[in-house]
Structure 1
Amino acid sequence: MTDPLIVEKEGPVARLILNRPEKHNAMRFADLDVLVEALHDAEDDDDIKVIVLKGNGPSFCAGHDYNDAIRSYGLEGDGSGAKPRRPSQRSRLMRDRKLGANYMAFQNSLKPVIAQVHGHCTGAGLYLVELVDLAIASEDACFSHAEQRLGLAGNTWHLNSQILMYGAKKARELLLLGDTFDGPEAERMGLVNRAVPLVELESTVEAWAQKISKHARDALVTGKAMHQMALDSLGASQQFYRGYVGHTLGTNLRFESDEFNFLRERRQEGTTSTFKNRDKRFAE
């Protein structure tokens, strides 16, 4: 099987490259675990000063692999057609606590992380961009919080960061509507630092990484530690503790008969068709 992550180290720069191009780099839960391990390895490597997070193939990251998430949460049927037994709250909380810790690892990286974004950037992919230090996107990148249409509707892992980044009302708009926006709009909102033509994306990120690497090692680490302390004074760590409880609650909803139940529809129509039907419902 192809490794879900490629790690390159060149001089002072480490590149963590998501590598499921046929899935637009949608991550399985285990892939996120591997990514965080690689992040920590780059933190521990004294030769590395800057970390670049990017995706192989047509997209940066299309979020979590939904089929894997269903299996990981114990919601997949046994093939008999019978509705699976609802998993316990304790098992869900333990799974979500691990996810929250993985996201927090990117916010709290000891070394600067630059996200290099192209193609689709949705759900978990967008979470990473919101949490890292810097981000540069192609002008034609396609961002969205469409994952909120699965029954979350504003219930997210890092709401403090999103409110600080976008403002309270804009954050509510992005999470309640789940509409797409491009690189220039992402720059205007403060999600990314720069939006550049796709042909300039790689060179722009590399130039920034090299310029940042001119700083002393201790300066980069202590500067990030101070940044993290400032964020913590604004609730940046507590948001993940609320976030994992909120995610467990938000993915364990009761749907009424006139509401779109993704799990029920998926059993009948399959994953791809159900995603299309969900987005069609919101487009209407």
Structure 2
Amino acid sequence: MADEPVLVEKDGAIGRLVLNRPDKRNALTFDDADFLVERLHELEDDDDIKVIILKGRGKSFCVGHDFDDVVEVYGLNKRDADGRHVRMNQRTRLKIDRRLAEGYMAFQYAAKPVIAQVQGSCVGFGMYLAELVDLVVCADTVKFSHAEQRLGFAGNTWHLNTLLLQYGPKKVREMLLFGSEFAGPEAVELGLANISVPEEELEKTTEDWALRVARNPKDALVTGKAIHQMALDSLGATQQFQRGFVGHTLGTNMSLEKDEFNFFRTRREQGTKAAYQQRDARFREEAGAAHAE
């Protein structure tokens, strides 16, 4: 259906998962994320499909979770009888975050190779998907970032082992502490992307890569992927997802001091656009002061 949050396309040996919320820059609700995982499993179970392309309609690949949905699911607008905000208990938060972890794991442990075709903005959930799939083909102009700590959170927790392997410990700390954006060519240098191309060549390049992967025998692709996953497990990848959802509950349920920026309070009082502007302005000011010194 054209109005579904994720579209499935099948073309010979190539399957495509198309994020279908272009008006939201493919920000997904929690239910949308579940739907995406279900469609992934559908393509995994189709024996005609050898390789899966993950892409987003419109200007951006994926800008993360839909914050309207995040506020609703985590009960961030709930108040008690006296009008005071009520924080969700930990057991409920852990249940929700475990569900998220299982969704991320589905992509790291997909039975078939997955190639992400990335353009526009790629943050939050979108960034995690790019880091967890097999291959990434991106546009030169793409904007990647780990901006979690700019929102007042403790940074990525879900697949920190994977980040350490991809980028190295010091670079991970820099990426998480600053939340700075970087484009396609730097993503290739860092090991996040395999190739960066002009945006007008993005789709053709991705399709060409998928066809090259599909030349391999079915058993070879699935067996090779399974052995790759076993190697990741030997480095603690699965255990990190277990730690990760607990870490997410702890790292996103923060107590903020009165003089510290509160993204969700600002968003509630002034709107999403103003909250993002104030969030990013703080880091531009700090960067400018550092250069002046």
Q: Same fold (TM over 0.5)?
A: yes
* 1:81 positional shift: 9.8
Which residue identity does 1:45 align to in structure 2? D
- After superposition, what is the alpha-carbon deviation per residue over 1:188-212, rounded to whole angstroms, capped at 9, x for unaligned? 1010000011111111111111111
* 1:102 positional shift: 0.3
- The alignment's TM-score, normalised by the length of structure 2, stands at 0.94
Q: Which residue of 2 aligns with 1:186?
A: 187
Whether the aligned pair in 1 keeps the contact of 2:18 and 2:54 (CA below 8 Å) is yes
Whether the aligned pair in 2 keeps the contact of 1:67 and 1:271 (CA below 8 Å) is no
- Cα distance in structure 1, aligned partners of 2:273 and 2:78: 17
- After superposition, what is the alpha-carbon deviation per residue over 1:123-146, rounded to whole angstroms, capped at 9, x for unaligned? 110000000000000001111111
Runs of 4+ with deviation above 3 angstroms: 77-81
User: Is residue 100 from structure 1 mapped to residue 101 from structure 2 by the alignment?
Assistant: yes
Q: Which residue of 2 aligns with 1:166?
A: 167
User: Which segment is superposed worse, 141-150 or 183-192?
Assistant: 141-150
Q: Which residue of 2 aligns with 1:227?
A: 228
- After superposition, what is the alpha-carbon deviation per residue over 1:147-187, rounded to whole angstroms, capped at 9, x for unaligned? 33112243421100001000000011111100100000000
Q: How does 1:72-221 map to 2 (within 5 A)?
A: 72-77=73-78, 82-221=83-222
- Cα distance in structure 2, aligned partners of 1:81 and 1:118: 46
The count of corresponding residues between Structure 1 and Structure 2 is 284
Q: Which residue of 2 aligns with 1:46?
A: 47
Q: CA RMSD in A?
A: 1.6
Is the partner of 1:64 in helix, strand or coil?
coil
Whether the aligned pair in 1 keeps the contact of 2:154 and 2:252 (CA below 8 Å) is no
- Cα distance in structure 2, aligned partners of 1:11 and 1:105: 23
- Cα distance in structure 1, aligned partners of 2:81 and 2:263: 19
Whether the aligned pair in 2 keeps the contact of 1:154 and 1:172 (CA below 8 Å) is no
- The alignment's TM-score, normalised by the length of structure 1, stands at 0.97
- Cα distance in structure 1, aligned partners of 2:59 and 2:83: 37
Whether the aligned pair in 1 keeps the contact of 2:112 and 2:225 (CA below 8 Å) is yes
Q: Which residue of 2 aligns with 1:6?
A: 7
User: Which segment is superposed worse, 105-114 or 197-206?
Assistant: 197-206
For structure 1, the 5+ residue unaligned runs are: none
Give the direction of change, closer, same or farther, for the CA distance of 1:47–1:153 in structure 2 (3 Å limit): same
Q: Which residue of 2 aligns with 1:281?
A: 282
Which residue identity does 2:37 align to in structure 1? V
Q: Which residue of 2 aligns with 1:255?
A: 256
- Cα distance in structure 2, aligned partners of 1:83 and 1:271: 21
Identity %: 59
Which residue identity does 1:159 align to in structure 2? L
Whether the aligned pair in 2 keeps the contact of 1:186 and 1:192 (CA below 8 Å) is yes
